């Protein structure tokens, strides 16, 4: 079975500062890893995904994540936070085609002006 741990349920950053959201996974087989964003009262939007190609993955809205097998991590970063980045972010893992996703508990990002 696979699992995902997101360290920090809430993160507060200043506009223009680095955003770093942490995700660690557990999987007995090579995983597929995803980051999703959820705005209030909305569904999930895919930010980026890792599917065993390049370990540094670039996504939408300036986000990127690096897959580190030795650390079983897939942390999400953005060099400069924007007010529109305020949302909840979910890391997810899948171990087979078909995207039966296992999600972490989420990290809510607050961006201060």
**Residue ranges that bind another protein, judged by CB under 8 A:** 4, 32, 36, 41-46, 49, 51, 90, 92, 97-106
Residue 18 vs 54, nearer CB to another protein: 54
Residue 14 vs 58, nearer CB to another protein: 58
Distance from C-alpha of 13 to C-alpha of 39, rounded to nearest angstrom? 17
Residue 50 vs 85, nearer CB to another protein: 50
- Angle subtended at Cα 62 by Cα 112 and Cα 48, rounded to the nearest 5 degrees: 115
Q: How far is CA 73 from CA 23, 93, 100, in A?
A: 6, 11, 19
The nearest distance, CB 71 to another protein, in angstroms, is 21
């Amino acid at each position: 079975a696979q699992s995902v741990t997101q360290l920090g349920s809430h993160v507060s950053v200043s506009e223009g500062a680095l955003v770093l959201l942490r995700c660690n996974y557990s999987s007995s087989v090579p995983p597929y890893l995803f980051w999703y964003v959820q705005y209030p009262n909305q569904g999930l939007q895919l930010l980026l995904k890792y599917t065993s190609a390049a370990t540094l993955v670039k996504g939408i809205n300036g986000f990127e994540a690096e897959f580190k097998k030795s650390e079983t991590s897939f942390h999400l970063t953005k060099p400069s936070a924007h007010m529109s980045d305020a949302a909840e972010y979910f890391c997810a893992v899948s171990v087979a085609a078909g995207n039966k996703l296992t999600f972490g508990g989420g990290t809510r990002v607050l961006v201060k002006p």
